[in-house]
Amino acid sequence: MSTEKKALYIIFGATGDLASRKLYPALYRLYTKGYLKDHFAVIGTARREWSDEYYQNVVKDAIESIKESDQDAEEFSSHFRYQSHNVKDSEHYHTLKELADSLDSEYAIDGNRIFYLSMSPTFFGTITTHLRDQELVTQNGFNRVIIEKPFGTDLESSKELNDEINDSFDEDQLYRIDHYLGKEMVQDILALRFSNRIIQESWNPETLSSIQITLTEDLGVEERGEYYDKSGALRDMVQNHVLQIVSLLTMDEPDSFSTDNVRKEKLALLESLKQPDVKEEFVRGQYQASKDGACKAYRDEEKVDPESMTETFVAGKIVIDSDKWRNVPIYIRTGKRMKEKTSRIDVLWKKTEKQLFDESDSLLTIHISPEEGFEIQLNDKAIGPGMHMHPVTLSSMRSEETIKESPEAYEKLLLDVLDGDETHFAHWGEVAASWKFVDHIRNAWNEDTESIPFYPAHSMGPQESDDLLLKDGQKWIYNPKS
Ligand code: NAD
């Protein structure tokens, strides 16, 4: 039985892409499941001049494909109000406060407020300062702030941003969204590692050969050229999603599954990442046009500098500077316009010491998306005479129907915010440690402005990415070319 929660949402950036594609459907699902019912309201704000009615129609459009009935969509959207608002203008916060207070009493919300900053981070400080100074923060309920990525562009800017936000809100009121942390199979990493003795015992440097993380997209930059050209794959994917996954795969077992204990171990891990030898251990790349001309080269994309050196691909070797992990390389790879869209983790075990048989490597694959589930490849005796091994796969893959019915990342994360559960959000310490690691690579690349390796559209990246593993006598497990 779901318990109804009380909350007033104030969404900054309510006319944006993220709000329509992710937030309104996620809120609707929480509504259909009874978490949000009579005691919730949403104020959408952005620069455009919209009426409440127009806004409610936008919300209805956003849930068109998932609505249970017209009446249900109507009832849900009636909780939404719109206020045109320039976040830099102090005057507007007075009207926002009046509307918030009146909705609070209309829906008996008891002062619980969730401020969703679905806008460019350049506005975060201005908004949070105004929320405090113009008294939109209540005294009688909880006040929580949800922040979207990117959280700064390097350690220095993220620290400035954090200090600015901390002037008005404490760390335990902040929910930094990394939507990968809301994905089922990313949440399953700790469950698989720490609820199965068989995995837990063999998850150590004596037995593991490598860990490989692959997060690829088949699409290019689409309409996000302007943002992406300043960001690149390193900042857009590695600083947050990739390093969060690394921390979950290699952190020590926490004393308990509490937010504080999980964060403590993740932070310790991220702070122990060795600064890489960038030339030797990291590779960047940029996509070229496809042979059939159907996809443009990155440099020809809209709002991208025709001489851009921005990387649309990163591969690297991450080493953890601890006795425990030093000898287990973690290979990471992420990019756009690659062979196919996939997010997966491959964990490879070393062969047995004596190798009595003609064994293959043992392998655990965690499929994050679009498939969800995990598979373990083991050696089994081939039936018949002799002692020949063949690999067999034990598989726990979720059906399409199960995936469709399971809650989407944003829905789960928004429910966590209602519950005040910060376990699946990025803590400031983790963000800072990740920027420190990424800045070191960025700085090295910024110095080398001569060339960037290119890769053909719909490939698995430049040759340099394969060479990176070959140097260590390894190869990418996931290789859809073969
Ligand atoms: P968007 O450009 O579609 O929307 C931005 C919103 O901000 C609009 O509603 C716009 O009206 C509003 N806005 C801009 N300047 C304003 C001002 N001065 N005063 C008031 N409102 C103003 O952006 P988006 O794609 O919805 O993304 C929002 C945030 O989420 C960004 O920080 C983005 O990096 C992040 N994000 C987006 C996605 C995605 O899939 N779209 C994914 C991850 C993170």
DSSP letters, 106-140, are HTT-TT-EEEEE-S-GGGHHHHHHHHHHTT-S-SS
CB of 18 closer than 6 A to ligand 1?
yes
- pTM value? 0.96
List, by residue range, all CATH 3.40.50.720 domains of the chain. Answer: 7-148
Residue 482 has pLDDT above 60, yes or no: no
336 known member of a binding site: yes
Do 337 and 220 touch, CB atoms closer than 8 A? yes
pLDDT top residue among 326 and 474: 474
Structure tokens belonging to residue 153:
């562009």
Closest protein CA for atom 6 of ligand 1 = 13
Whether the Cβ atoms of residue 293 and residue 305 lie closer than 8 Å to each other:
no
Which residue is closest in CA terms to ligand 1's atom 1? 16
Q: Residues 118, 145: contact at Cβ < 8 Å?
A: no
291 appears as a binding residue in the annotation: no
Q: Can you read off the two tokens belonging to residue 272?
A: 């122990």
pLDDT in tens, 371-400: 999 999 999 999 999 999 999 999 999 999
pLDDT at 1: 59
**Which of 18, 176, 224 has the most ligand 1 atoms within 8 A of CB, as the residue to mutate?**
18
| Residues 129-167 as b or e (16 or more Cβ within 10 Å = b) | bbbeebebbbeebbbbbbbbbbbbbebeebeebbeebee
The share of the chain scoring above pLDDT 90, in percent, equals 94
Look at residue 351 and give its three-state secondary structure. Answer: coil
Helices 428-447 and 155-166 pack at an angle, to 10 degrees, of 150
Confidence of residue 324 (pLDDT cuts 50, 70, 90): confident
In this prediction, residue 291 carries a pLDDT of 83
Ligand 1 contact, 226 CB (< 6 A): no
Q: How confident is the model at residue 190 (pLDDT cuts 50, 70, 90)?
A: very high
Alpha-carbon span 410 to 466, nearest angstrom: 34
C-alpha 102 to ligand 1 mean position (Å):
26
Q: How far is CA 426 from CA 207, 217, 247, in A?
A: 30, 23, 11
Q: Where in the chain is the domain with CATH 3.30.360.10?
A: 181-406+427-471
Cβ atoms of 43 and 115 closer than 8 Å = no
**Most ligand 1 atoms within 8 A of CB, residue of 23, 120, 235 to mutate:** 120
Unique residue bearing structure tokens 């290699």: 250
Is the CB of residue 205 below 6 angstroms from any atom belonging to ligand 1? no
Residue 450 predicted with pLDDT over 90: no
* Among 85, 241, 367, 427, the one annotated catalytic: 241
Q: Are 296 and 220 in contact (CB under 8 A)?
A: yes
What is the average pLDDT score of the chain? Answer: 96
Measured in whole angstroms, how far is the alpha carbon of residue 298 from the centre of its chain?
23
Would strands 143-147 and 113-117 be described as parallel, antiparallel, or unpaired? parallel
Atom of ligand 1 nearest to the CA of 121: 32
Is residue 96 within 6 Å of ligand 1 at its C-beta?
A: no
Residues contacting residue 127 through CB under 8 Å, at least 6 positions apart: 12, 87, 115, 117, 119
Question: 16 alpha carbon to ligand 1 midpoint, in Å?
Answer: 5
- With beta carbons less than 8 A apart as the criterion, state whether 182 and 412 touch: yes
In DSSP notation, 165-214 reads HHTTS-GGGEEE--GGGGSHHHHHHHHHHHH-HHHHHH-STTTEEEEEEE
Look up 424 and say whether it is catalytic.
no
Q: What architecture is domain 181-406+427-471?
A: 2-Layer Sandwich (3.30)
Nearest-CA residue for atom 11 of ligand 1:
46
Instruction: Please give the full DSSP string across 361-426, using - where no structure is assigned.
Output: PPEEEEEEESS-EEEEEEEEEPSSSS--EEEEEEEEEPPHHHHHHSPPHHHHHHHHHHHT--TTS-
Which DSSP letter does residue 294 get?
S
CB of 15 sitting under 6 A from ligand 1: yes
Q: Whose CA is nearest to atom 7 of ligand 1?
A: 13
Q: Is the pLDDT of residue 326 over 90?
A: no
Question: Is 179 assigned to a binding site?
Answer: yes
Residue pLDDT, tens place only, 224-278: 999 999 999 999 999 999 999 999 999 999 999 999 999 999 999 999 999 999 9
Whole-number Å distance, alpha carbon 27 to ligand 1 midpoint, is 18
3-state secondary structure 334-350: EECCECCCEEEEEEEEC
Average pLDDT over residues 332-358: 97
Q: Residue 278 forms beta bridges with which residues?
A: none
Confidence of residue 173 (pLDDT cuts 50, 70, 90): very high
Instruction: Work out the burial of residue 356: count CB atoms within 10 Å of its CB; fewer than 13 is exposed, 13-18 middle, 19 or more buried.
Output: exposed
- Convert the pLDDT of each residue in 89-142 to its tens digit: 998 999 999 999 999 999 999 999 999 999 999 999 999 999 999 999 999 999
User: Taking a C-beta distance cutoff of 8 angstroms, is the pair 376, 393 a contact?
Assistant: yes
pLDDT above 70 for 460: yes
Pick the atom of ligand 1 nearest to 117's CA: 29
Which tens digit of pLDDT belongs to each residue from 401-419? 999 999 999 999 999 999 9
Domain 7-148 listed as CATH 3.40.50.720: yes
Helix (H) or strand (E) holding 46: strand 40-46
Residue 35 has pLDDT above 90, yes or no: yes
